[in-house]
Amino acid sequence: MESKFIIYFENPFWVGILETIEDEKLKVARFVFGSEPTEPEIYNFTVEYFGKLKLSDGIEFDKRKSKISNPRKLAKKEQQNKGIGTKAQNAVKKMQEDRKIENKKISKAHKLEIEENKFLLKQLKKKEKHKGH
């Protein structure tokens, strides 16, 4: 299992993206920090919330080994690579769309329940009016 945590500025907030490659699948989680996180805040976040992040279902991912053996060159290349990868963006987008569909279903069920309760209340009031004194 290989993981990478990227923090970047997405106007107006700082966002963290956790990319995990597990069983040839890229799984992604997104966390919004708000203001620019300090190193102690990032450390506390990793200790407290890393295990609680909800990862996306996963996208097929062909793992390519880096040919750079010098760690300094690898670090420089990583710094030049700004933002999140398109596969990670797609995984986050898919996770958001799934959550949106799920929330719509819940909202619709809640609305129907409220309407049914209102209807039953109206029916009850009608019966009370016709009962007499």
For residues 65 and 111, which has the higher predicted lDDT (pLDDT)?
A: 111
Q: Report the pLDDT value the prediction gives residue 53, as an integer from 0 to 100.
A: 81
Q: For every residue of 64-76, which 3-state class applies, written as one string? A: CCCCCCCHHHHHH
Range 8-34 average pLDDT = 84
Assess whether pLDDT exceeds 90 at residue 105. yes
pLDDT band at 85 (very low <50, low <70, confident <90, very high): low
Closest of 14, 54, 20, 17 to residue 38, by C-alpha? 14
Half-sphere exposure of 38 (CA within 13 A, CB side): 2
The model's pLDDT over 33-69, given as tens digits with 9 standing for 90+, comes to: 888 888 888 888 888 877 778 787 777 766 565 566 7
Identify the weakest region by mean pLDDT among 77-86, 111-120, 123-132: 77-86
The model's pLDDT over 61-80, given as tens digits with 9 standing for 90+, comes to: 665 655 667 888 877 877 77
pLDDT band at 116 (very low <50, low <70, confident <90, very high): very high
Radius of gyration of the chain (CA): 24
Half-sphere exposure of 27 (CA within 13 A, CB side): 13
The Cα–Cα gap between 100 and 81 comes to: 30
> Alpha helices of the chain — where are they, by DSSP H?
39-49, 71-80, 86-131
